[in-house]
Amino acid sequence: MEMKTLLPLRSSGSSYEWAVGVQRVLADLSRGPAASRVKSGENLFDCILEMRHETGMQDYAMPENASRGLDLFFGKLLPQNLAREFFHTTLPSMAKLALDLPNLLDEHVNKGQLYGFGVEHRLRVLSSQEPGIVMLSQEFIACLLTCSFLCLYPSQDRDKYNLPGINLNKFYACIYEKNHDRASQQHKMLCLLHYFERVCQGMPHGMVSYERKVLLPWQTSDILRFWSTSRVPLCKFQVSATGDISNHIGGEALEVDFANKYLGGGALRAGCVQEEIRFMTNPELIAGMLFLPMMEDNESIEIFGAECYSKYEGYGKSFTFVGDHQDERPRDQWGRRMTRIVAIDALARPGAQQYKSVLILREVNKAFCGFLDRHGGEDVGVATGNWGCGAFGGDLELKSLIQWLAASQAGRAYVKYYTFADPRAQRLEEIVEWMSRESWTVGDLWNILLDYGSKREAGVIDCGLFEWLRPVTGLRALFSQLTSIFSRRSSV
């Protein structure tokens, strides 16, 4: 699939340009309300429609409530001094950024550079089952996100190629619609406006890389035996009831995004849980939605360098933007902030089926794909938590141990597990301490999980995994199973 079919520009050979009408509107916007007459949400929506018409895009992709959402936000929800600042200062600067898209695109499409990984990192679609990396400058990302804000991307082919939506039109509609929580949507919008204000006042000059990671066939052949016979020791596992993944303490770590299979999930719609919140505080993550199609079961997406711009409090309906965040994480030799975020999608609402061996295998392979590092970062830990255990309905006890054995097999130095004070994780630390003290391996834990899953699926037991594993009262029940496991292992 060619990148040019996803872009709002006209292409002629290897060069790109705005349609004449769009260039005129953007030029007016860049000179402020005196030239553009755009000083309200309603005016802005009309301006967006005009530019879409100039590029030949249809109106069906622009719900009527998008106009009402913009009008409500800039007319009532946002303090008028801030609305005036946006229309007189930030929006003109954003328009100047958008006008520069053809030049920036030419640099990133036709003049891809070689970085330290030995491959060319130009802007392109990273299709399913195609491992690769795209490296973008933060300035180019700001330009791409401005086009999202102005709803300038064509949308007709995105579903066809399993790409998530990238325009903000549905997000604007969610601000207005009563079936969504307006307060959380308002604060998501505040995060985005703060990002644009920051980059327009002082453009960062670093880089962000977007990588599609794929478990190749050689890594999945005879995979059951691979897991059951692994002698890799379980890595360190730290449990914390406080704190969160994005602000982990104790060393550099790969931070897990509890992702939707479509990168970003509901970030540009009504969603406001873990993944969506991270995409609001680190908006450069959103750019990956432009060119990264849906993840398959053997795929993950790692984004390295996305800067954090906003502080927040709360979660879901209580999510609140609370101000500016100055990201002080160091940069690597290619200018990327030392922030590694990996998107792995859990099974959605699997119910009792999640105890089947084939689905346990799916989850451990997904986590293993995400935690693997082909670029020499194995000594980095993993910061994670209750992956897929909220709206997706996963069993926290099962999923926490799946992540532990996947991180261990991937060679990670440690797992820092944030429980978010979830009572279901009450016994996790006790279980981890016991297994660590007994020097369990990946294979030991894997075989126990399969044994538990088969008994749970067959209805032989109905207790939780931790209760079944309980080190004190459960030792007798486990003795014969462990003896059998160790016997099989010694015979391999």
Q: Which residues are the active-site residues?
A: 257, 275-276
Q: What would the 3-class secondary structure string for 385-435 be?
A: ECCCCCCCCCCHHHHHHHHHHHHHHCCCCEEEEECCCCHHHCCHHHHHHHH
CA nearest neighbour of 90 among 203, 202, 194, 200: 200
Residues 152/318, Cβ–Cβ less than 8 Å:
no
Three-class secondary structure of residue 181 per DSSP: coil
Residues in the chain: 492
Residue 111 CB coordination number (10 Å): 9
β-sheet bridge partners, residue 240: 418
DSSP line for 45-112: HHHHHHHHHHTT--GGGS-HHHHHHHHHIIIIIS-HHHHHHIIIIIHHHHHHHHHTHHHHHHHHHHSP
Taking Cα atoms as reference points, which of 58, 40, 55, 150 lies closest to residue 98? 150
CA distance 445 to 402: 9
Residue among 147, 138, 133, 136 at smallest CA distance from 107: 136
- Cα 29 from Cα 35, distance rounded (Å): 7
- For the CA atoms of 64, 67, 71, 72, the dihedral, rounded to the nearest 10 degrees, stands at 50
Q: Which amino acid is at 332?
A: D
Of the candidates 94, 50, 118, 64, the residue with the CA atom closest to the CA atom of residue 197: 94
Let me know: does 148 contact 167? Beta carbons within 8 Å.
yes
Q: Which helix (H) or strand (E) element contains residue 17?
A: strand 15-17
CA separation for the pair 295, 261 (Å, rounded): 5
Q: How wide is the angle at C-alpha 243 spanned by C-alphas 241 and 247, nearest 5°?
A: 150
C-alpha distances in Å from residue 285, one per residue of 267, 304, 340, 488: 10, 9, 11, 45
Q: Report the C-alpha gap between 174 and 381 in whole angstroms.
A: 37
Q: Taking each helix axis from N to C terminus, what angle separates 428-437 and 396-409, rounded to the nearest 10 degrees?
A: 40
